[in-house]
Amino acid sequence: MIYLQLLLSFLQVGLFSIGGGYAALPLIQNQVVELHQWITMSEFTDLIAIAEMTPGPIAINAATFVGIRVGGVLGGLVGTLGFLFPSLVIVSVMGFVYFRYKGLTILQSILSSLRPAVVALIAGAGLSILLQVLFAGGPMTLEGLNWVGGLLFCLAFGVLRKFKCNPILVMLLCGSLSLLAGLIGLPA
């Protein structure tokens, strides 16, 4: 029952992704790459690149994309609805409580402890992706190192930190430079 599994997986993602769009991604990686092995780490990274360059919340894009790859268009709908459902219920209830009683102290305290954990989780996911770029899932040796990928990463990271420019532009730049490197015959 692939649809049921998809639904359960994305219900969990939807329920526990607190703290911004990127917070959902370690959860999705955990569910679909590690636990269920529905897609590879490389496909997962492609998916984030695509999700980043299209409008809409990144988690919704990811849920739809993974769902379609696992179970076609119906799978996409099941994954997306699974992701949406917990937040629909929780936000509606919290909205009701909040506009009645205007109190958020415990919620804010929970949030302030969650934030460092979320940063750590995003760092973990980012490092997995970086290892995927540098060694393509192979052993971490100097011979196996993808130099072009490493240079592109350093360039992209430097540009992002220094100029705070749009991630979409950075990704397009990386894609074009990678094509250029391939055209002049550098190994990728």
Partner 1 sequence: MDETLSRKGILGKIFVSMLYISAFTFGGGFVIVTFMRKKFVDELHWIDEEEMLDMIALAQSCPGAMAINTANLLGWRMAGFWGMLVSVLGTAIPPVTIITILSFFYDAFSANPWVALALKGMQAGVAAVFLDVVFSMGGNLVKGKSLLNWCILGAAFLATFVFGVNVIYIILGAALLGAVRPLWQKRREGAA
Cβ 1 to partner 1, closest distance in Å? Answer: 21
Cβ 115 to partner 1, closest distance in Å? Answer: 7
Output 139 or 185, the one with its CB closest to partner 1.
185
> Which helix (H) or strand (E) segment is 73 a member of?
helix 58-101
Output 7 or 59, the one with its CB closest to partner 1.
59
Output 4 or 98, the one with its CB closest to partner 1.
98
Helix (H, G, I), strand (E, B) or coil at 185: coil
CA distances 8 to 19, 79, 91, Å, are 21, 9, 20
Cβ 150 to partner 1, closest distance in Å? Answer: 8
Cβ 5 to partner 1, closest distance in Å? Answer: 16
d(CA 119, CA 22): 9
Residue 74, number of CB atoms within 10 A of its CB: 13
Output 112 or 141, the one with its CB closest to partner 1.
112
Cβ 153 to partner 1, closest distance in Å? Answer: 4
DSSP letter string, 75-127: HHHHHHHHHHHHHHHHHHHHHHHHHHH---HHHHHHHHHHHHHHHHHHHHHHH
Output 126 or 144, the one with its CB closest to partner 1.
126
